[in-house]
Chains A and B, each alone.
Chain A
Amino acid sequence: MSEGLLLEVENLHAYIGSPRGVVKAVDGVSFTLGRGEALGIVGESGSGKSVMARAVMGLMPPRSGRTGTLRFDGRDLLGLGRKQLEQIWGTQIAMVFQDPGRSLSPVVRVERQLTEGMRRHLGVSKSEASSRALRLLNEVGVPDPERRLRAYPHELSGGMRQRVMIAVALACEPELLIADEPTTALDVTIQRQVLDLLRRIQRERRMSLMLISHDLHVVAGQTDRVAVMYAGRMAETGASRTVFDHPRHRYSNALLAATPSIEHVRHASLNVIPGALPSPTDPPEGCRFAARCTAATVECTTTQPPMAPIGIDHEVACFHPVHEKEGELVGR
């Protein structure tokens, strides 16, 4: 963090063309990520967090567009051509996808998937790339790595596949690792291990990490800072502990309350957030959470609340933030 900012995102919009109109998946998002910092991005399905990850990476689907400012290490990413992006992918920014069963090539052995990036970017010999691949598998905790190098992805378990995927992403020593729901497709027992692995590697390598998840609990324990997204916009950003313990945005608060925890067992039913996400093609004016918010006023439905500081390293886009006391009651 002391070494300054690695990624600056300002007023980022990412739109995707669809038969039902233009989906405004990311609609004016700003945040920063420091060097060596772990940032969690949280939001429910459809909040735009995955599209944002791809937008930062530059891996957008056909018929889509991005506007805004995307500065990485001082360079404007949006202005780069395909070849320049290929130079950055893998070596500066790397990505781990949600389902390792789908993000590893089914017909290519693990060894090649690990080494092909190194061979291209680092210009290392075949044998050097192989020994590096072996070290990487060791680093991510894959047992019997010599044998695993010769395996095809389907011969590995889900947890092993995701470890391999992480090793692939680390192969060219990126400065930023974007992990898009890296544990969602895994068994619950494996999720913790993979998250701990990501955090350990992030610290050991002093790498920046963008950890995307729908689960605020997952993100809070594994990141320095957290950003809560709702319907393509930022709702709240701040230090993970602060947002987790004292969520101030009504949505973050509801999100935490909706997650069952051990203290909740005596309740008869789970807390749910009533209503659904607003239309992604035709979002409402004002605060996008207004229709589902218990504290919404007329102002909320007409004016978009701006991001405003509410504490130390804590910003929230809400006209009626949760009082700190109130948050403690529900958020815990």
Chain B
Amino acid sequence: MCASNTGQAAVLRSALRKIGYAALVVLVVTFGVSLMLSLAPGSVAETILGENATPENVALLNKELGYDRPFIVQYLDWLSHAVRGDLGVSPITHLPVTEAILQRLPVTLELAVLALVLSLVIAVPLAIVSAARAGSALDRGISAATSVFLSVPAFVAGPVLIYFFAVQLRVFPALGWVPIEDGLGANLAAAFLPALAAALVEIAAFHRVLRADLIGTLREDFVAAARAKGLSPSYVMFRHAFRPSSFSLLTISALSLARLIGGTIIVETLFVLPGIGQLIANAVLQRDVVTVQGVVAFIAVTFVVVNMIVDVSYGLIDPRLRRAPAARKIARGRSRTVKPVQKKELTA
């Protein structure tokens, strides 16, 4: 009714502003990381030449690689290539960084998506049961169990999982990666334990957030009104209560996904998986500045893009947020409790 030109202009303005912010975030992150790397002692030349290299040789190699230039010149040089998709060549592996990332991306991506799906598949039903019986022994038991998952770090959960599933039960391989081309079954079997190890930590957070939001929603009048129609509690839960309660869950699961794509260093190292996490871990140890910069830029872009997708998808959950971009602020504010949103009326 009031979708006028000013409305469309506002949408465009807000989209441009968002892209601007996103670019700024990536810029600040890559600059900060580059600065820290340049301040850190040691250099890639020392790694290449070995412990016995003379300072003269190290200085020579550094000059050859361009590391003798002022920091800001180095950064701007890197940036001008990076915006064109060229993240440089690793002086150690002599492989373009872009290629190294793309090589390892399928592993990390599969691991991340699988971990997210696993944690949601476990956490969402638990949260629904908890919220439906809030305060009961069952609810307290579930909360206690997920807290245990939260407080067990991956480097403990990983070996425990390996011990039970790989050593004792022998249902999953202990380590290593099987590419998807070598068979989906073998691939999934290899990915399952690392994904579960990465998922355990997420389960507690997902359970808590969704449980709290569901309990808030279940107190709303519209839930009582739906019950007053004689609809069953489970129907009301899924049809009326779940969607308005899933804002926080969407937000934090997107952040989890972005974090997982950034590489779960511990899990990848534990299970010996050739993913992004291992790439950056090795690069840091070898002072491979080019690779670190490239991976960091990639992770920053991933975060920013995932966040933008989340922003857009709020509207899919709640029709009230489809109109104005300003309404998304409501979604952010709503993330804890569901409050009545728009008092504005379209028709008298």
Contacts and interface: CB of A to CB of B under 8 A. Distances in A.
Interface of A: 54, 57, 59, 62, 82, 85-91, 94-95, 97-99, 101-108, 112, 116-117, 120-121, 152, 154-160, 165, 168-169, 171-172
Contacts of B85: none
Contacts of B244: 105-107
15 contacts: A59-B228, A97-B225, A101-B340, A104-B225, A105-B222, A105-B244, A106-B341, A107-B244, A107-B317, A108-B239, A112-B239, A116-B226, A154-B319, A157-B345, A158-B345
Given A88-B230, A102-B340, A117-B229, 4 more contacts: A87-B230, A104-B222, A154-B319, A154-B342
Contacts of B233: 82
Given A152-B319, A154-B342, A89 B347 contact: no
A59 B319 contact: no
A98 B225 CA distance: 11
B225 A168 contact: yes
B180 to A, nearest CB: 37
Contacts of A82: 233
Interface string B204-245: 000000000000000011101111111111010001100110
Contacts of A117: 229-231
Contact of A95 (B222, B225, B346): B225
Contacts of B134: 62
Contacts of B83: none
A217 B229 CA distance: 30
Contact of A157 (B135, B317, B341, B347): B347
B340 A99 contact: yes
B105 to A, nearest CB: 35
Contact of B347 (A86, A102, A156): A156
B224 A97 contact: yes
A97 B248 CA distance: 28
Interface residues of B, number: 32
B347 A57 contact: no
Most chain A Cβ neighbours within 10 Å, of B220, B225, B342, B346: B225
Contacts of B347: 156-157, 160
Most chain B Cβ neighbours within 10 Å, of A95, A155, A158, A160: A155
Contacts of A90: 228-230
B169 interface: no
A179 to B, nearest CB: 12
A53 to B, nearest CB: 11
Interface in B270-313: none
A149 B224 CA distance: 21
A262 B185 CA distance: 82
B94 interface: no
A91 B230 CA distance: 8
B137 interface: no
Nearest to B319: A152
B99 interface: no
B343 interface: yes
Given A154-B341, A156-B347, A157-B347, A99 B228 contact: no
